[in-house]
Amino acid sequence: MPAGYLPIFIFVAIALAFPVVAIVAAKLIRPSSPFQTKLEAYECGIKAASDSRGRYTVRFYIIAILFVIFDVETIFLFPWAVRYHQLSWFGVAEVSVFLAILAVGYIWAYKKGALEWV
């Protein structure tokens, strides 16, 4: 039984060793001459105005999540468009319900003020 697992163990050992060997080789080969200007964050030659770990408002995250949700939901229109002729009126009814639910979500988000940036 363990002999059957030998190729798996070899594969795991190679998969773990390859990135480690590559990182060590890169560390040994690359030139290393760190200095202050080289270690600074690149911002078009302008000194950083503040820490990059500043806080963002919750509105930014809400709008970003809403964008992702509605964008991913519209991806579901592609399979419907591919099979449009086969689905006939049943497909039109299905996509109409889907788009109505999507529109209700947009209206709800708008009324809650989630789409207002200020």
Residue 115's nearest CA partner among 47, 39, 63, 42 is 63
Residue 21: what pLDDT? 96
> For 15-65, what is each residue's pLDDT tens digit?
999 999 999 999 999 888 777 777 776 656 666 666 667 777 777 787 788
pLDDT of 48: 66
Instruction: Report the predicted TM-score, pTM, of the whole model to 2 decimal places.
Output: 0.46
The confidence score (pLDDT) of residue 42 equals 67
Query: Dihedral of CA 71/73/78/84: which sign?
Result: negative
pLDDT in tens, 68-85: 888 888 788 888 888 888
Q: What's the CATH number of domain 2-112, 1.20.1440.130, 1.20.58.1610, 1.10.3720.10, 3.40.50.1370?
A: 1.20.58.1610
